[in-house]
Chains A and B, each alone.
Chain A
Amino acid sequence: DAGVIQSPRHEVTEMGQEVTLRCKPISGHNSLFWYRQTMMRGLELLIYFNNNVPIDDSGMPEDRFSAKMPNASFSTLKIQPSEPRDSAVYFCASSLGGTGSLFFGPGTRLTVL
């Protein structure tokens, strides 16, 4: 199994631009999570899906952030417009609901200039 796949691994963009981060969860996993890691706040949950349905998006910072999961094997996190304070590492993770462990992707390092 290839594990959780994220793209791109690095993204540098200018303030005001739209950014789209992509994730492919582990095949068969039915829960998908988007986390953001910053020095100040550590790993914070942005949103998670169960069976492609968003369950809790209370961690999404503001309306500039949106996430979709059109099918069981793909999710996107979009920031429009991006701001310098969005600079962080964004992790996607998946799990098989009810069995415990969460498996993370390698992350996307986002830099907004």
Chain B
Amino acid sequence: DQQVKQNSPSLSVQEGRISILNCDYTNSMFDYFLWYKKYPAEGPTFLISISSIKDKNEDGRFTVFLNKSAKHLSLHIVPSQPGDSAVYFCAARDNYGQNFVFGPGTRLSVLP
């Protein structure tokens, strides 16, 4: 049973437009959420995170929104750039602070 879901396996966006990646979770004990970006032949790299006490966190072109009542978070990238093309993983940490659960990933393609 997947506790973290990313229902879109892939997404294509035109350069300069907004990319919106979605993530849903089932475990109400998750208290910290992260997005990771992964290029081929590399390990995932941390992108942005949000605590469950917030509903928005922004870092440059990247913004993460959290809707706790819906158990839903999203990553917005604006404007999208070709270098953003990668697989994006949503992850959640339980409130014991030790285990990280990852979604299956969404492959983003930003077209020039």
Contact = CB atoms under 8 A, between A and B. Distances in A.
A52 B78 CA distance: 41
A41 B46 CA distance: 20
A42 B105 contact: yes
B98 A91 contact: no
Interface stretch (A67-75, A80-88, A102-110): A102-110
A34 interface: no
Contacts of A50: 98
A14 interface: no
B98 A97 contact: yes
B12 to A, nearest CB: 20
Interface string B26-58: 000000101010000111111001000000000
A104 B43 contact: yes
B25 interface: no
A35 B105 CA distance: 14
A46 to B, nearest CB: 12
Interface stretch (B15-23, B61-69, B89-97): B89-97
A65 to B, nearest CB: 18
Interface residues of A, number: 26
B102 A56 contact: no
B97 A102 contact: no
B98 A48 contact: yes
Contacts of B41: 106-107
B95 to A, nearest CB: 11
Nearest to A3: B43
Contact of B32 (A45, A93, A100): A100
Contacts of B34: 100-102
Contact of B102 (A42, A97, A98): A42
Given A42-B105, A102-B91, A107 B98 contact: no
B101 interface: yes
B44 A4 contact: no
A103 to B, nearest CB: 7
Contacts of A56: 99
Interface of B: 32, 34, 36, 41-46, 49, 89, 91, 93, 97-105
